[in-house]
Structure 1
Amino acid sequence: MADECFYTVFETVAGFAAIGWNGTGVCSFRLPAGSAREAERALLRRLPDAGAAPPPLPVRAVIDGAVRYFAGGRVDFGDVPVDLGVQQPFFERVYTAVRRLGWGETATYGAIAKLLDAGPEFARDVGQAMAANPVPLIIPCHRVTAANGRIGGFSAPGGSHSKAQMLAIEGVEVRDGVVTRDVPQLGLGF
């Protein structure tokens, strides 16, 4: 049944992460935290009725990819099936656009809004979508930065520091919260 959700907690070199899935795809992902309990609690806040279970092979592949990612391996999660649940239509469009950002590519909140034919006032809405992202890493919200060269906020454990570390894994240099080199931008005119 697509609505029945399961989860597991797993360890990476960056800490303990958690993944939730149903019959449609990955429905929750919690970035590494300091303890397995912390990762589990974060996931269960989103999926309170999920049951712990061994992951099926497709989910195991996502876990293996996440472990490789945090160890510095180049991993593409673009084909991972996801179930984001009911989302605001604008958020759905944001998630689709951000999912197209590849390894080491970044875009600003405003550039994502512009890509979606929304005015600059929608940059804040893009930021809200990133903060509410149910599957960070799979939808790479860490690749969306502020317009002023700053990396912007991050709601995962460790906040902006974790975002900077993830960008560094991908070769994006960040110093004192500022991207310090030109990074590849999504090839859509922004």
Structure 2
Amino acid sequence: MRTVVDSAQRYFGGERVDFSAVEIDLGEQEPLFERIYAFVRALGYGETTTYGAIAKALGEEPQVARIVGEAMSRNPVPLIVPCHRVTAAGGKIGGFSAPGGSHSKAHMLALEGVVPPSDGQAGFGF
């Protein structure tokens, strides 16, 4: 079995890699954060959703989208819990806590075949 580092190198080399089976210990988390991280870990390669859609899918009120964003900003393993696949409403890329910020997020999405909005609106920024 390849190590996570080898898998990450393959991912950034353009290979389709699934990190959902990688065992992680996020330490003690708020119960809602645990649910959010579990939901995001289930997102497949190239699959995106929004902060608000996660809140709704978890049966929460729309304002919980801010808490989803907070959970993503505190995500200690951004590639393993693929928060780059969570975007803001309207096709905007949103924030990203990993080095490189939103530019890294846009690059990771592009690796996965996610294209920016074609309507000329402010979006992914590439």
2:85 maps to 1:140: no
SS of the residue corresponding to residue 103 of structure 1 reads coil
* Contact 1:164–1:177, Cα closer than 8 Å, also in 2: no
Q: CA RMSD in A?
A: 1.7
Alpha-carbon distance in structure 1 between the residues aligned to 2:46 and 2:124: 12
2:39 maps to 1:97: yes
Alpha-carbon distance in structure 1 between the residues aligned to 2:18 and 2:10: 11
Structure 1: unaligned runs, 5 residues or longer: 1-57, 181-190
**Identity score, percent:** 65
What residue is the counterpart of 2:50 in the other structure?
Answer: 108
Structure 1 residues 137 and 177: CA distance shift in structure 2, 3 A: farther
2:116 maps to 1:174: yes
The equivalences for 1:1-190 within 5 A come to 61-174=3-116, 178=123
Alpha-carbon distance in structure 2 between the residues aligned to 1:155 and 1:139: 12
TM-score, normalisation: structure 1:
0.61
Q: Aligned partner of 2:3: which letter?
A: A
* Contact 1:109–1:126, Cα closer than 8 Å, also in 2: yes
Offset of residue 179 of structure 1: 5.2
Structure 1 residues 114 and 177: CA distance shift in structure 2, 3 A: same
Offset of residue 174 of structure 1: 2.5
1:3-25 deviations in whole A, cap 9, x for unaligned?
xxxxxxxxxxxxxxxxxxxxxxx
Structure 1 residues 162 and 124: CA distance shift in structure 2, 3 A: same
Structure 2: unaligned runs, 5 residues or longer: none
SS of the residue corresponding to residue 92 of structure 1 reads helix
Alpha-carbon distance in structure 2 between the residues aligned to 1:155 and 1:136: 8
Offset of residue 155 of structure 1: 1.6
* Contact 1:99–1:138, Cα closer than 8 Å, also in 2: yes
> More strand by proportion, 1 or 2?
1
Larger radius of gyration: 1
Q: Which consecutive aligned stretches of 4+ in structure 1 deviate over 3 angstroms post-superposition?
A: none
* Contact 1:109–1:127, Cα closer than 8 Å, also in 2: yes
* Contact 2:75–2:97, Cα closer than 8 Å, also in 1: no
> More helix by proportion, 1 or 2?
2
Alpha-carbon distance in structure 1 between the residues aligned to 2:100 and 2:41: 22
1:101-129 deviations in whole A, cap 9, x for unaligned?
00000000000001110010000000000
- Whose RCO is larger (CA < 8 A, sep 6+)? 2
